[in-house]
Amino acid sequence: MLYVKRDTWGNLQQVQASPFAGMDGELAADDQEALAWFANQTVENSLLQLQQSDLDMIRVLEDLITVLIQKGVVRITDLPEAAQSKLVGRSKARDALGGLNRLINDDESGLI
């Protein structure tokens, strides 16, 4: 048995395996509506994980570009102007937050 809370339109807002405060109904564990709700929650969680991964990858790519520039493999001027502008802007923002970066064990220098 699953315990549920619905919104004013009857849509599921919360589904739990045990009773909870504010619940207003019950569903069988194999009910199609409950299964659909759990499937939707899985998709939403996957999208959130992917979004966080994208943010992490942005930092990795930025650091990779910095290393390539420092080693002379590529020059910042080799990149399109829009990319140059974004990288320089991020570099300045990271430099401005230097104290905050140290809080998260980040010992980087600027992009350029």
Residue span of the structural domain in which 61 resides: 52-112
Residue type, 98: G
Asked if the structure places residue 25 within a domain, the reply is no
Asked if the structure places residue 34 within a domain, the reply is no
Asked if the structure places residue 66 within a domain, the reply is yes
Asked if the structure places residue 106 within a domain, the reply is yes
Q: How many structural domains compose the chain?
A: 1
pLDDT of residue 112: 52
- Separation CA 68–CA 85 (nearest Å): 17
Asked if the structure places residue 14 within a domain, the reply is no
Asked if the structure places residue 8 within a domain, the reply is no
Q: What single string gives the DSSP state of each residue in 94-111?
A: HHHTHHHHHHTT------
Asked if the structure places residue 70 within a domain, the reply is yes
Residue type, 108: E
Residue type, 97: L
Q: Which helix (H) or strand (E) holds 63?
A: helix 32-70
Q: pTM for the full model?
A: 0.51
DSSP code for 73: S
Asked if the structure places residue 31 within a domain, the reply is no
Give average pLDDT by consecutive 10-residue segment, the chain, 112 residues: 93 92 92 90 90 90 91 94 91 76 50 52
Closest to 87 (Cα-Cα) out of 54, 110, 56, 57:
110
